[in-house]
Amino acid sequence: MKKKLIPIISGLVFGLVVAVIIFADISPGSKTKTAASNSTTTTSNGDAEKVYVPLGKKDDYYLMASGGHSGQLFVYGVPSMRLIRTVPIFSPDSATGYGYDAASKKMLGGYTWGDFHHPALSETNGDYDGKYLFATDVANSRAAVMDLKTFTTKDIIKVPNTSGPHCAAFVTPNTEYLFLPTRFATPLGQKYASLDNYSKDYYGVMSALTFDKKNEKLNIAYQVALPPWSYDLSDAGKKSSDGWGVITTYNTEEATTTMEINASQADRDYIVLFNWKELAQEVKDGKYTNVDGQKMIFPEKENQGIYLVPVAKSPHGVDVTPDGKYFIASGKLAPAMTVFSFEKAFKAIKDKDFSGERNGIPVLNYKSVMEREVNPENALGPLHTQFDNKGFAYTTMFISSEIVKWNYKTGEVVDRVPVQYSPGHAAAAEGDTASPDGHWLVSLNKLAKDNFLSVGPSHPETMQLIDLDGPKMRVIDTVPANPEPHYAQMIKADKIHTINVYPEDKNNKDAVYKTTDTRIVRNGNTVDVYGIAMRSRFVFDSKAKRPDTIEVNQGDHVRIHLTNIDRDEDITHGFAINNYDLNMEVQPGETKTLDFVADKAGTFPLYCTNFCSALHQEMNGYFLVKPNN
């Protein structure tokens, strides 16, 4: 009797377990096992400790997350996942006055928004060097550079002949170049051309930018008029593949309407494999055409360094392995990661092992270059791959909402973990350098759904911190993220050396460092104010009856130069003119200028917008504008 009961009881228990698992599977946001995985996302107390960074201690890593169509960069600390700073890059920002003061207003070039997808940290020998961060704007075709000493934008360049540099920015191992291939094809100079002549008149231009460190300026070295396809993601070769770059393409069908269907017809698209050292040599040898002042290479005319590698239809991400030996394309529409060998590609190029050509560009034989195809069971929508220090790759699965850990040398899938939900990119610690750190992976998820208190029909995105140290991946923290981190890079904190205070700049004619040097200078209709901000007052003219008042005539061109002479870290002052729609911050030691026409007559209080001292509320004065008549 007893013997018979045991199987019945164990059968019941088994049934219960199955029921729990099934229930867990259908309950959204479940924190237990899902069909997609044999890992769990359950967090325990030990996990809370792992992400807790006590007061006085700091995070180990900076996570630099692009802000998508906010045009900004979001800086997080890892493992705490705290948002530390928002750095405006492509959009004006009321909090810092970015886009209001003369220098940043000029840099923004009149644009009011940007769409920032991929940050790229500067590199030395294939490792992040902690000096600069590059950004590109899909919306208005710009590139920018941010200085990591101050976390401020230093230069923005408008890139001509370019429509939506989505698949940038990626830097070469010693930041020789920053490549910007574009998402949309247009005629050169974006001139008018009928879509009926798309294949003939349209191009997908890739730009090669250089960065002049001394002057902190971006320049365009040359451009390449690639076929009118969409260029999606890119990466630079390293070590044995240094000198090469890879770019995924879609719409090699050259569809001009209903892209969703028409750009997904062909079974194969391509990876563009190019040698930037050879392209630079071609430019040096004068093998280019001048297009609106740009050195344009037309591959069908002067091609030595560009090849096509066939890849499963509509690929998205392409990532070079840390050893520089392989590049991995992810399927988007094909549920596979395809590993290609650089060495095999170089041999195919040498042997002219081509299967044909497109637009004069040789197509390499797929079989000769492909190393392996990896299809994890039921894993759908692979998008992007990151790496650790143990030879493992981590690929995001957008449709099946998980991260797949696999060995790129054998193709063996070793672990899978569900994420909530629909990851786009992921960022591993130093994850796309020549020497990744391991430890942490952050999954950048496009949908939050039921993760947080509801804020209406639209929700934030989420970032999930995944612990890579144990035998299995474990999701140990989920935080809301500002729309929309397309990509992020994680750099070791001790590589970044910020300054505490801006040093005195004797060459800056706008700066004043002593109250007695403050003055208001009139020159015809132009009024220059050389003022200072200090705790807790403004001084515009120390000799005046009211040193904190500026008085001008209606219609005057006014330039207010303001130097913050507080030499204490974090004592930032603001300067706003009430009802004049003007504001800027001035960081310790910094000088900034507001440049405007005083077209409105009246009495306008001016005040400090950044809480700086116990008497911050008293830090105000008047801006008086005498009417014309």
3-state DSSP call for residue 605? strand
Of 495-554, binders to ligand CUA (CB under 6 A) are 536
Q: How far is the CB of 591 from ligand CUA (least distance, A)?
A: 15
Where residue 272 falls (left for φ over 0; alpha for ψ -120 to 50; beta otherwise) is: beta
- Helix, strand, coil share (%) of the chain residues, nearest 5: 15, 40, 45
Q: In the set 277, 372, 409, 616, which binds ligand CUA (CB under 6 A)?
A: 616
Rounded distance between C-alpha atoms, residue 417 and residue 66, angstroms: 24
Asked if 23 interacts with ligand CUA (CB under 6 A), we say: no
Q: Of the ranges 181-189, 506-514, 595-603, 607-615, which one interacts with ligand CUA (CB under 6 A)?
A: 607-615
Q: How far is the CB of 162 from ligand RUQ (least distance, A)?
A: 16
Q: In this chain, which residue has its C-beta nearest to ligand RUQ?
A: 424
Rounded distance between C-alpha atoms, residue 132 and residue 216, angstroms: 10
Asked if 487 interacts with ligand RUQ (CB under 6 A), we say: yes
Q: What does the CA dihedral 133, 137, 140, 143 come to, rounded to 10 degrees? A: 30
Q: Which 3-state string (H, E, C) describes 353-409?
A: CEEEEECCEEEECHHHHEEEEECCCCCCCEEEEEECCCCEEEEEECCCCEEEEEECC
The first and second tokens of residue 526, run together, are 């132009």
Where residue 110 falls (left for φ over 0; alpha for ψ -120 to 50; beta otherwise) is: left
- Give the ranges where 310-457 is alpha helix by DSSP (H): 342-350, 366-369
Rounded distance between C-alpha atoms, residue 295 and residue 285, angstroms: 12
Asked if 316 interacts with ligand RUQ (CB under 6 A), we say: yes
Q: Which is nearer to ligand CUA, 23 or 611 (CB)?
A: 611
Q: In the set 118, 154, 238, 344, which binds ligand RUQ (CB under 6 A)?
A: 118
Where residue 286 falls (left for φ over 0; alpha for ψ -120 to 50; beta otherwise) is: left
Residue 183 binds which entry of ligand RUQ, ligand CUA, none, CB below 5-8 Å type-dependent: none
Of 370-409, binders to ligand RUQ (CB under 6 A) are 383-384
Asked if 117 interacts with ligand RUQ (CB under 6 A), we say: yes
The candidate with the shortest Cα–Cα distance to 560, out of 533, 579, 524, is 533
Q: Which is nearer to ligand CUA, 346 or 622 (CB)?
A: 622
Q: Which is nearer to ligand CUA, 313 or 573 (CB)?
A: 573
Q: Which helix (H) or strand (E) holds 560?
A: strand 557-564
3-state DSSP call for residue 9? helix
Residue 149 binds which entry of ligand CUA, ligand RUQ, none, CB below 5-8 Å type-dependent: none
The first and second tokens of residue 110, run together, are 């009149």
Which class for 162: exposed (0-12), middle (13-18), buried (19 or more C-beta within 10 A)? Answer: buried
Asked if 334 interacts with ligand CUA (CB under 6 A), we say: no
Q: In the set 63, 87, 612, 625, which binds ligand CUA (CB under 6 A)?
A: 612
Q: How far is the CB of 420 from ligand RUQ (least distance, A)?
A: 16
Any residues with CB less than 8 A from the CB of 323 and at least 6 apart, and which? 239, 240, 434
Q: In the set 608, 621, 623, 625, which binds ligand CUA (CB under 6 A)?
A: 608
Rounded distance between C-alpha atoms, residue 40 and residue 59, angstroms: 25
Asked if 69 interacts with ligand RUQ (CB under 6 A), we say: no
Q: Which is nearer to ligand CUA, 157 or 608 (CB)?
A: 608
Strands (E), 294-343: 294-297, 306-312, 318-320, 326-330, 337-341
Asked if 50 interacts with ligand RUQ (CB under 6 A), we say: no
Q: What does the CA dihedral 318, 83, 88, 548 come to, rounded to 10 degrees? A: -170
3-state DSSP call for residue 10? helix
Number of chain positions touching ligand CUA (CB under 6 A):
8
Residue 487 binds which entry of ligand CUA, ligand RUQ, none, CB below 5-8 Å type-dependent: ligand RUQ
Rounded distance between C-alpha atoms, residue 331 and residue 264, angstroms: 12
Q: Which is nearer to ligand RUQ, 487 or 575 (CB)?
A: 487
Q: How far is the CB of 29 from ligand RUQ (least distance, A)?
A: 21
Rounded distance between C-alpha atoms, residue 314 and residue 337, angstroms: 12
Lay out the site mask for ligand RUQ across 410-429 (x = CB under 6 A, - = otherwise).
--------------xx----
Asked if 320 interacts with ligand CUA (CB under 6 A), we say: no
Asked if 610 interacts with ligand CUA (CB under 6 A), we say: yes
Q: Are 327 and 246 in contact (CB under 8 A)?
A: yes
Rounded distance between C-alpha atoms, residue 364 and residue 563, angstroms: 60
Rounded distance between C-alpha atoms, residue 204 and residue 182, angstroms: 6
The first and second tokens of residue 97, run together, are 């006055």
Q: How far is the CB of 403 from ligand RUQ (least distance, A)?
A: 14
Asked if 583 interacts with ligand CUA (CB under 6 A), we say: no
Rounded distance between C-alpha atoms, residue 586 and residue 434, angstroms: 38
Residue 37 binds which entry of ligand RUQ, ligand CUA, none, CB below 5-8 Å type-dependent: none
Asked if 486 interacts with ligand RUQ (CB under 6 A), we say: yes
Of 209-268, binders to ligand RUQ (CB under 6 A) are 233
Q: Which is nearer to ligand RUQ, 316 or 416 (CB)?
A: 316
Q: In the set 132, 573, 588, 623, which binds ligand CUA (CB under 6 A)?
A: 573
Residue 118 binds which entry of ligand RUQ, ligand CUA, none, CB below 5-8 Å type-dependent: ligand RUQ
Q: Are 347 and 301 in contact (CB under 8 A)?
A: no
Q: Which is nearer to ligand RUQ, 105 or 117 (CB)?
A: 117
Asked if 611 interacts with ligand CUA (CB under 6 A), we say: yes
Number of chain positions touching ligand RUQ (CB under 6 A):
11
User: Strands 170-171 and 152-158: what pairing?
Assistant: unpaired
Q: How far is the CB of 432 from ligand RUQ (least distance, A)?
A: 12
Residue 156 binds which entry of ligand CUA, ligand RUQ, none, CB below 5-8 Å type-dependent: none
Lay out the site mask for ligand RUQ across 162-201 (x = CB under 6 A, - = otherwise).
----x-----------------------------------
Q: Which is nearer to ligand RUQ, 136 or 161 (CB)?
A: 136
Q: Are 364 and 309 in contact (CB under 8 A)?
A: yes
The first and second tokens of residue 85, run together, are 């700073």
**How many CA atoms, within 13 angstroms, populate the side-chain half-sphere of residue 530?**
17
Q: Which is nearer to ligand CUA, 61 or 604 (CB)?
A: 604
Q: Of the ranges 207-215, 474-482, 555-563, 608-616, which one interacts with ligand CUA (CB under 6 A)?
A: 608-616
Which residues form the interface with ligand CUA (CB under 6 A)? 536, 573, 608, 610-612, 616, 619
Which residues form the interface with ligand RUQ (CB under 6 A)? 117-118, 166, 233, 316, 383-384, 424-425, 486-487
